Structure 1
Amino acid sequence: MSDTAASGDSVVFTIEVDGEVVREITMGPGQDAESMTIDLRGAFRVTLKLQNPSVGLTVANGAWIDPVLTK
């Protein structure tokens, strides 16, 4: 999340595989990045999403950091 995010703000990170949510994490300011492993065998489409529920008075920004697909 951005350094300007207010305490209590959050961003929801969602991974969808073929239209179904397979992982969802809510992160707040100061939390360390998380590594995720998702089994994509047989998958056609992978979608990475961010949502800011606007809990605080500021707009929190999040980012996927170097997403990588490996065999």
Structure 2
Amino acid sequence: MTLDRAVMAFAGVMILLSVVLTAWVSPYWIWFTVFIGLNMLQAAFTGFCPAAMIFRALGVKAGCAFH
């Protein structure tokens, strides 16, 4: 798995988790979904992604999007 795919998979899991938490725990978890969306948006424009940095440090091989 490349870094790009790992980041997208992680973002997808976090979004699904936040939707489940919003539905079954508290509606305030929707702010976690908003945070994830904003983080994905800023990463698209700036190239700075904390998740990519963590996966890179764990040894996931580079892809095309995150250098």
Specify which structure has the bigger relative contact order, considering alpha-carbon pairs within 8 angstroms and separated by 6 or more residues.
2
Same fold (TM over 0.5): no
Which has more strand, going by share of residues? 1
TM-score (norm 1): 0.22
TM-score (norm 2): 0.22
Which has more helix, going by share of residues? 2
